[in-house]
Amino acid sequence: MDMMIHQVDAWMVALVFGGAMLTSWGIGRRSGRRFPPDAGHDPGMKFTEASMAILGLLLAFTFAMALGRHDDRRLRVVAESNAIGDFYTCASLLKEPHRTALQSVIRDYAQNELGVLSQLLPAAEQQKAILRSQEMHGRMTDIVEQAIAEGTPIAMNLTDTLNGVTSANASRLAAYEEILPWSVQLLLLLAAIVPSFLIGKQQGASQKARLSGTLSFVVLVALVIFVILDLNQPRRGLVRVRYECFERLIHSMADTGVRPVGPR
């Protein structure tokens, strides 16, 4: 269910939220006209205020959650770029033919990771890219194993930086798979519909339709929902993780005579 919802663009979901809120407001307004409250103070105001407070809390918490995960993905991308740069630097200290072979694989690996980050690939293509990364992990491990078997003096550093590359890749993939559960999005929808219905009911009972205020409320909530869901989609949407660190790293690898260090 999470992946199905994740495939829908954030603006479409925001439109669904806005339409559902307007529909529930219209139903509530009609209900208020048919069943007006007794004269005097309307106790339903307390429920409206409580539902508005709950909606505000849910929006705040989910926004903070989505923003935090977006920042975590950004840090994971930088960390992976740094790990690849460190490994490339360490590989430049090897003797031939291991140095050229390992640096070539690292460059191909960085290009593959940049392609995954910069393009919105279908699920099947993303899986193929992950399999290519794992294959290149195996090739890098084989070259490192050969260099260590021949007695390279940087065996410890070489092993540590290789482990750093594989660990950084696993962490970045895990961060990109973390999305808001569908149950949280459903709760947001319910929390947006209920106060809209209650507001419409009160306006219907008073025979006064506050169209400008109602539309402003619906639009603002829909925009907040859009931003939350856009932050929740790591590979699509307007707010995406920047990958210039990978571009700079690959550019520094273009000249094999340069020993690049990943962007800090």
End-to-end CA gap in the chain: 38
Tell me the two tokens of residue 118: 């910069």
162-196 pLDDT, tens digit each:
999 999 999 999 998 888 888 888 899 999 999 99
Alpha helices in 207-233, H assignment, sequence order: 211-231
Is 69 contained in some domain?
A: yes
Report if residue 21 sits inside a domain.
no
Cis amide bond preceding 97, omega within 30: yes
Q: Is residue 262 part of a domain?
A: no
Cα–Cα dist 226/11, whole Å? 6
Distance (Å, rounded) from C-alpha 47 to C-alpha 196?
Answer: 12
Contacts of 152 (CB under 8 A, 6+ apart): 94, 95, 98, 158
Identify whether the C-beta of residue 14 lies closer than 8 Å to the C-beta of residue 189.
no
The predicted-structure confidence for 13-59, as pLDDT tens digits, reads as follows 899 999 999 999 999 988 888 766 655 555 557 788 888 899 999 99
- Report yes or no on 88 lying in a domain: yes
d(CA 140, CA 88): 11
Token pair for 131? 């399999």
pLDDT bucket at 201, cuts 50 / 70 / 90: confident
Query: Domain for residue 29, yes or no?
Result: no
Q: Cα–Cα distance between 135 and 108 in angstroms, integer?
A: 11
| Residue 247 resides in a domain | yes
- Tell me what percent of the chain is helix, strand and coil, each rounded to the nearest 5: 80, 0, 20
Cα angle 80, 262, 129; round to 5: 40
Share of the chain above pLDDT 90, in %: 55
Total Cβ atoms within 10 A of residue 107: 17
Residue 68 neighbours by CB distance under 10 Å: 12
Q: Looking at the predicted structure, is the pLDDT value of residue 80 above 60?
A: yes
Question: 14-28, 41-55, 115-129, 238-252: which has the minimum mean pLDDT?
Answer: 41-55
Buried/exposed code over 12-49 (b: 16+ C-beta within 10 A; e: otherwise):
ebbeebbebbbebbebbbebbeeeeeeeeebeeeeebe
Total number of domains constituting the chain: 1
93 domain-assigned: yes
40: left (phi over 0), alpha (psi -120 to 50) or beta: left
Containing structural domain, residue 94: 11-16+44-253
The pTM for the full model equals: 0.81
In a domain? residue 263: no
